Structure 1
């Protein structure tokens, strides 16, 4: 493999794994925020206790995913300088701003709000505590917006001019409202909500079929997941189709791959426009990615609609085969999401910034050996982090609400009841 191929493999491997964390973070945090809001403002003590346990249980799974995922995000930022210094040289004046804002929001604002929410149980006023989790959700989606702005510029550069081989920002508004970024953000948002909803339903049905005593908690979780996930799954394919017109207009070779068009003709047109080069890339992979997204998207949409119908007269809780289907569905949104990134990124080859900067011109002056070592090391570490994340999530999900540690506080020595230090302590309320 060439140095460019190794650098691309490294980035593709790490971004694909990192994206698994991102899509779940974006999908879970709105559900946790809704759960917390309902718990905080429920007057009935029994219902409030159930909804608080629900918030803490799902909130802990979210925190695990966020904590491990933030490590992978840090490495992603470094790769732009390690392997793709040409991108910074050419587009740093444009590309650097949204990337820096994403870093500030994700690694500072979002992390700060989340830390305050985690340690605020039993210490903050109800309204303040609820506001914090909504701020976490807001900053998560703000972070996604800036990433899509940066990626949208790479897909279809707007609001810039090139002077002496360097791109300079000339229209900030055009950069922020790039249709390639906004439509993709809407698609990612719906995909994330679908992913979060499927995970919550799958884990909930796992406990329901095992005969859990936490019936109200997990049935309530399923209802909320259906409320959010059903419309999201229904519209995710529709919004995805909205991007076809942008692809047809801006990236004709990707369109030729998806529609099995005349790649040779498009190749000749691109040679005339941009000069000699091989503009045909991985057509089979692009079609496979597109088809996998479509099949999974329509399947999940159908399953959630069936679940809503089965809610009538409680048949959803009695039909065990459907519960097993929902458990088996958990991995599918992640597969579709990775396929979406493959389609988006591979389809613009050989460009890093479409029409302006090719991959080979953006590559840093790094030896093939160094790239081979870093590629193997990064992908191995990322894979280990992903496995660790899912083992932790599966372990705490399987143990159920009784094993939840989020919101639990250690009593002070003077507060230990007379019954002994081993006596179980109640978890503090808001």
Structure 2
């Protein structure tokens, strides 16, 4: 029996098929290197909280004002998550009930906009997010959307263009934030553009919640009207979303989340948020966040040393965006992603500014350091990973190279286990 199947032995006794999939995912995470910028490995404590009996509890409403009885402990945990969020980010008002970062955005839109209102946001292929107005998303179908972009030469947000578009388009809301932009965001500059247009400002910090909490990225809290984020990425808490706002919007936001956009909250995930936020208040978390950024800088330097082209020429935070068109013109992002997965390295294809390929093919890859940093990777190990990625990119269809890189990956995942019981796997059948 592997360590993974042993962990799910109760499930295995009742549902072998489900247990096999669960065990397989635990083993996959242990035996690959995760460089997807939006993924991380939460602690055993957060896992335990998320699998608690709160999975059984309906708790519609908010602490002290629930629709159902029996919410004493649910109230305690949700208030704990709220209080810790206040301490981490300093927001006036906090709502921890959104099921995801996208649903946090949805609630802000619902609280403040009418159908047909106008949103100005960063273009998806320039690093934005689907929920900022893409036509395939509800935002692009419900609201009128226009986009600002990154400068084609520098790879940085073109704030002059943003100012001009805000003046001409006259948006009701300006959205800042990104899913694949490797540089700091000037929230004050965007707030000034929103103010000039008499628009609201939503800052989506889904990727940088943890970096902001640790002081490794500028904070939009106290600058923007609304700040939304995910709680499982760089903050390493229970999976879901969070909304922070000025106090004057508290009632509108809470009503938009429930009953406006959601029913009962996922109380087991909120328990995970509370535990993860508590971990982020410890001094060790600041060191972790600093290491995430340092590792990303090492990754960027190593890539550039091998001749890869990076959007904006580097990074300020947890991710590097590689444009393959110059160094590897015949390798698409999808091909790179697939070849690297065969070698045990997990990252994602990504569009790049000026993209000419379909987003399902793409011309770039997005590479992030939060999960490897959680495992204990430092600069030397990160350089080894960067070198391995280059070898695969240079020979994406060469089986001997993929096999050789996988052997290097095996050494690294044994050296840096995710959880203590994975340090010395027992009875491994691979």
TM-score norm. by structure 2 comes to 0.27
Q: Which has the higher contact order (CA 8 A, sep 6+)?
A: 1
Larger radius of gyration: 1
Structure 1 or 2: larger helix share?
Answer: 1
Structure 1 or 2: larger strand share?
Answer: 2
